[in-house]
A = this chain, B = another copy of it.
Amino acid sequence: MKIYDWRLAPNPRRVRMYLAEKGIEVPYEEVGVPQELRLKPDYLAKHPEHAMVPMLELDDGTCIGEAMAICRYFEELHPDPPLMGTDARDKAIVDMWERRACEGMLSMSEALRNASPGFVDRSLPGYPDRPLKQIPGLIERGRARLGRFFSTFDGQLAKHRYVTGERFTVADITALCLVDFLGFAKVEVPEECRHLHRWHGEVVDRPSAQASR
């Protein structure tokens, strides 16, 4: 078993941080080209239809992409401590907030990829076989969507210690990996979002956040 990883990118960090919370060790293979914003050609050639990381390769050769699908695999095998909810209501709430954090991640990616010279013809990740031109209008739209992320999560964190309540979950992991990456999109959490700042200051100090940087 191994995980194809790209140390630089925000989505692989979600899995590294999740596994650090669980205390699970899995070998990683770095597939990012050093000093460049792209994956190695032989990795892309192996996964032409889903050319993204993270990717978990099981011993039988099965490849599982999508950060949360990988976490779900380990959550089933190692349920403690629970990071994806505990009963039906809680699991649904964690799933909902994790997806909302993903919406924030997509918004950041819109603002970043359509502005950076490093992503010409790659306005979305995962399509090495077809050019997807940068679209300048998405820079502004990505920032507007991030405004929604900030207000929604600040409101939620005004009521709760963590994103979904009093327990740390994968929704916190995705939100932290997004917030820590905002600088690359030249965006900051607004000063008035003081609950989001309070939460970030706490979560970024967790050993899993440090280990996955």
In whole angstroms, how far apart are the Cα atoms of A66 and B171 in the complex? 14
Which residues does chain B contribute within 8 Å of A64, judged by CB atoms?
89, 92-93, 96
A89 touches B62 (CB 8 A): yes
User: A123 — which chain B residues lie within 8 A by C-beta?
Assistant: 141
Partner of A69, one of B50, B96, B138: B96
Contact with B along A60-71 (1 / 0, CB 8 A): 001011101110
CB under 8 Å from chain B, chain A span 84-127:
87-89, 91-93, 95-96, 99-100, 123-124, 127
Which chain B residue shows the least CB distance to A62? B89
Residues of chain B contacted by A76 (CB below 8 angstroms):
87-88, 91-92
Question: How many identical subunits does the complex contain?
Answer: 2
Give CA–CA (A50, B99) in the complex, Å: 12
A58 CB–B CB distance under 8 Å: yes
Kindly state whether residue A208 has any CB partner on chain B within 8 Å: no
* A167 vs B38: C-alpha distance when bound (angstroms): 36
Tell me which residues across on chain B come within 8 A of A124, comparing CB atoms. 141, 145
Given contacts A72-B91, A91-B72, contact A137 B133 (CB under 8 A): yes
**Is A212 interfacial (CB-CB < 8 Å)?**
no
Q: Return the 3 tightest CB-CB contacts between A and B, nearest first.
A: A76-B88, A73-B92, A69-B95
Beyond the given A66-B100, A72-B95, A133-B141, please list 20 additional residue pairs across the A-B interface where CB-CB is below 8 A. Answer: A49-B151, A58-B89, A64-B89, A64-B93, A64-B96, A69-B92, A69-B96, A72-B88, A73-B88, A73-B89, A73-B91, A74-B88, A130-B144, A130-B147, A130-B148, A132-B141, A132-B144, A135-B135, A135-B141, A138-B138
